[in-house]
């Protein structure tokens, strides 16, 4: 086991402890999913950050493109809508380059979270070249952007951050590599009235990790195998055990053993930060090809 303070940092614990004043407020404020894709623009590696949000007003979406020098090329926010913003396009010009964003969520189907499951498309084009294409309605997207032949975007899915909620069970769906199989991740932890709580993580209903004596091991890391790949799992459940009863725990799944570097950035623990562009260390690590990262903020609900 690695040294806990060096892996996680006490600052992260303090931020997590103070971030929640009530369960309902936390859930409304943090109901978002952020996905990061790496692509090449003009020969340089860039990040496309897609954030899906859900509020009382409806679904929302933002797309940001940053280059390797931490310069924001563009950011488009599609605010929560009721009817009017479910389909549309944005056309931008940045440094003599044309960026076009098309979306259609008219018939999108959603689960418990803000990220659409099916019935949608989101396309990002750079100088008339598709650099990102999401969703299952690809034929409709091709027709909208006037492409005759199917194309494959050059973007690679490299990171995801998600807020999940529960009392004992916390679930999420994810891929541990670009274009890989979608897995069900379930975190089980009951801390109510137990002198010796334990932590269990399951992938597709199979137990892959169990941590006993959790009060002594509230922070740690372990390696599991998923699709034949080693996945480093980091956990921090300090808030659940010793902090605010409605605080959040943090879990990270990283396909590279160099994942420890990512935990030194306090902003990873800060649920109030909606974009990863502020974390230079995370950006640098991802641009250097450390693999896929999944960060889950697990919030206890009443």
pLDDT, one tens digit per residue, over 110-140 is: 888 899 999 999 999 998 889 999 999 999 9
pTM metric for this prediction: 0.78
Q: What percent of the chain has pLDDT over 70?
A: 73
- pLDDT at residue 6, as a whole number: 31
- pLDDT at residue 52, as a whole number: 94
- pLDDT at residue 103, as a whole number: 93
Tell me: do 53 and 134 sit in the same domain.
Answer: yes
Last residue of a domain, one of 102, 123, 157: 157
Q: How many domains does the chain have?
A: 2
Beta strand 156-166 with 169-175 is: unpaired
Positions in the chain short of pLDDT 70: 1-30, 68-70, 80-84, 148-149, 193, 244-246, 256-290, 302
Domain of residue 74: give its range: 33-157
Tell me: do 37 and 25 sit in the same domain.
Answer: no
What is d(CA 238, CA 248) in angstroms, rounded to the nearest whole number? 9
Beta strand 156-166 with 293-300 is: parallel
Tell me: do 112 and 47 sit in the same domain.
Answer: yes
Last residue of a domain, one of 157, 188, 208: 157
Tell me: do 15 and 54 sit in the same domain.
Answer: no
Tell me: do 53 and 74 sit in the same domain.
Answer: yes
What's the DSSP call for residue 145?
A: T
Tell me: do 42 and 109 sit in the same domain.
Answer: yes
Last residue of a domain, one of 157, 182, 204: 157
Tell me: do 292 and 279 sit in the same domain.
Answer: yes
Tell me: do 13 and 72 sit in the same domain.
Answer: no
Tell me: do 26 and 168 sit in the same domain.
Answer: yes
């Amino acid at each position: 086991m690695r040294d806990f303070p060096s892996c996680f940092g006490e600052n992260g614990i303090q931020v997590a402890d103070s971030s929640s004043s009530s369960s309902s407020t936390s859930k409304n404020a943090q109901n978002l999913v952020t996905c990061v894709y790496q692509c090449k623009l003009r020969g340089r590696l860039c990040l496309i950050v897609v954030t899906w949000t859900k509020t009382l007003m409806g679904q929302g979406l933002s797309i940001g493109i940053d280059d390797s020098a931490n310069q924001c090329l563009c950011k488009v926010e599609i605010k929560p809508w009721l009817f009017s913003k479910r389909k549309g396009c944005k056309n931008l010009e940045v440094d003599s380059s044309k960026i076009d964003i098309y979306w259609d969520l008219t018939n999108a189907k959603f689960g418990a979270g803000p990220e659409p499951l099916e019935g949608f498309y989101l396309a990002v084009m750079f100088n008339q070249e598709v650099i990102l294409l999401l969703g299952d309605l690809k034929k409709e997207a091709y027709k909208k952007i006037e492409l005759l032949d199917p194309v494959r975007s050059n973007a690679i899915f490299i990171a995801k951050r998600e807020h999940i909620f529960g009392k004992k069970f916390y679930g999420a769906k994810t891929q541990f590599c670009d274009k890989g199989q979608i897995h069900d991740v379930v975190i089980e932890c009951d801390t109510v009235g137990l002198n010796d709580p334990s932590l269990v993580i399951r992938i597709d209903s199979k137990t892959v990790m169990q941590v006993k004596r959790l009060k002594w091991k509230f922070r740690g890391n372990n390696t599991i195998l998923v699709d034949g790949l080693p996945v480093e799992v980091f956990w921090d459940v300090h808030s659940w055990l010793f902090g605010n009863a409605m605080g959040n725990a943090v879990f990270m799944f990283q396909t590279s053993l160099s994942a420890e570097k990512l935990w030194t950035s306090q902003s990873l623990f800060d649920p109030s930060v909606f974009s990863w562009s502020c974390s230079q260390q995370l950006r640098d690590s991802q641009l250097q090809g450390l693999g896929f990262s999944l960060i889950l903020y697990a919030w206890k609900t009443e």
